[in-house]
Structure 1
Amino acid sequence: MIARLIKQGSEFEQCDILILDHFYEAVDFCKKTKQTGTWHKVMYFDDGMLDDYKLKLNPVEKYHFYHSWKHFLPAMMEDISMYSEVFLAHDFVAVEYAIMRKFSSEGKKVTIFEEGYSNYINNSTHETLIMKGLKRISPWLGLPGGYFGSLKWVDSVWVQRPQLIIEDLNNPIRFKAKPLPMQLTEFLQLPEIIEEMYILFPEIAEIDAHIQGAEVISVVLTESWHDEIPDRDLYVNQIVSKVNEIVQNEDSLIFIKQHPGENLPMQWDSKQIVLLPKQLPFELLYLIMKKHRLKKVNLFSFGSTAILNLYHLCKEDGSLDIYLFGESMSRTHYMALKFPRFCELATKFHVQFKIV
């Protein structure tokens, strides 16, 4: 969605898009993207298990892996003479790294655009002094660091809230941070964009049917690490119980939005539950809220950028209450490391939330 916003805000007429097989039903999404007629050319590339392989490498092996980027550059990117610049969501995903290096090697501008709250924080989860030190100097060695866009081949990083990066003196990308060419609020109010979103995500019409007549709904955002929980079905029911306990209404709808990185399906005992499509950009809930004039949305999350975006969209009318699942619902070490960083970022953004 942010890629589409960049195209709209920058008024790019001839613009191609390359979709990697990195999220749920990427092939189907590629077909729908073609149907919109928005992009000059829609390309798809399946990089298989390349990044899973990369994660298993030791630091020395990773160094050689990344610097062998020409070996995993997609064939359609070998000749880039027709392009003037490239926008990427990441600089650590192997194929995107290769594309970044290719464009930079030919003197063409490389921009990282906002993918999530991870753009604003240090994403390193290493705990030993040695690994922390290696991660810190990684960009000097040509390897992705803890901050997206810290590599020298990245010219700029376009985000919705560049000030949060610029004001952080410890953030190495503070001189690269630039605002997106268009506000998300303005973007989602354009009639042609609304029409396009309904083409890309026809499930929105189904959500409309569920919400018809409702005044209050609750939404739960899950995370990719939920796949690792052994008693997963029980855990989902615990989440539902926690939501009902806080909302104090066991009849109100609860929408669950799984993370695109989750592979396992969800099961539950409650008839309250409606499952939202994994690939649906959560910010599109704003369109649904406005269309149905919902009085209140109770949003439950373990820490997601979607919270920041939706809060920004809804902050004028106060229709959003935010609850973050804290230690009581945390089940992984990864969550314990990243959660405080998200809370700090949300506080800087003046987001009002409660930890439950």
Structure 2
Amino acid sequence: MTAEKTLSIMSLQACEKAIQQQITLDPCAVKDDDVQLHVGWGADGDFLLGSEISMASVASNNPSIRFHFHLFSNDTPRIDQQKMVELAEQYGLKVTLYTLDNDYFAQLPTNRLWSSAIYYRFIMAEIVAQTAATMLYLDADVVCQGDISALLDLDLDNHVVAAVPERDATWWAHQAEVLGCKALAQGYFNSGVMLLNLEAWRSEATYEHILRLAADPQQQAKLSFYDQDLLNLALVDKKIFLNSVYNTQYSLNYELNEAKRKKFTSSSIFMHFIGPTKPWHLWGQYPSAQAFQLAKAHSPWKGEPLQLPRSTYQYRYCYKHLIHQKQTLKGYGYFFRYLLRKLLSRR
């Protein structure tokens, strides 16, 4: 596909057409002028429960902030709107649900870990920017466990994004070389938690810049972290860094390795559960995921069952974690199902 055709498909005019339906749930009649912070999530089916509990965690830990939550998904029919209404009533907030046409993102790269939902944050910023000046974006696997009021007073000045650095200077230099952008050696951020200056996002034509990068076949071939790489390239000189407490990354797969398990810290505002095992998975139930478990237990989704493995890849981690948790019989049951799927060549 040519760059011109990609840009045509994902043009700004097509941006709004990608929204098939938009529903606002506002049982408390929240006035737009009273909203102190807009917060956005993007998720498909496998991550919807994560998004919902992420919402509940933000609201429960910040009862003094008046929120407008935005959830973008291609799978909104699976969302229980009554539970969303209950959340809105519980915390006096507003929720808008956006149903997306997934074909809009079909030409962008994905893999078994990252579906096209990773690109929802691009269109989200563009849409929310029409009515808001600032938005906090959170990945579905980010759980809040503290006060975020300091973000309300953060001066972004002319910068487009405030985010937490990814790893260290060695990693930045590596990404600078891989992506062919020397300036990235001065800083590369993780896109799981971003405070976005939407006015600067639009004035800097960030969306168009990202589309041009995504449409370049040579640039696309260099991408390893897809949406995150694109954001870092587009915002290389338009970012400021946040303290790591706003995006403390931890993989629940570290629980299988004693040395890595020691990396866990509970003294963060946002816990970001990276990696293939998520806290809403049956096999991801550890003390390190307590923030998720507590938020779920006090949310309208408290009775929602944990997600069972759905792919061969997930069956593999499921049996390993259950055996590690000394749920031996259950673990070996999933091990044999994993072997069967492998033999039948199921994904």
- TM class by shorter chain equals 0.3 to 0.5
Q: Hey, which of these two has a bigger chunk of helix by percent? A: 2
TM-score (norm 2): 0.36
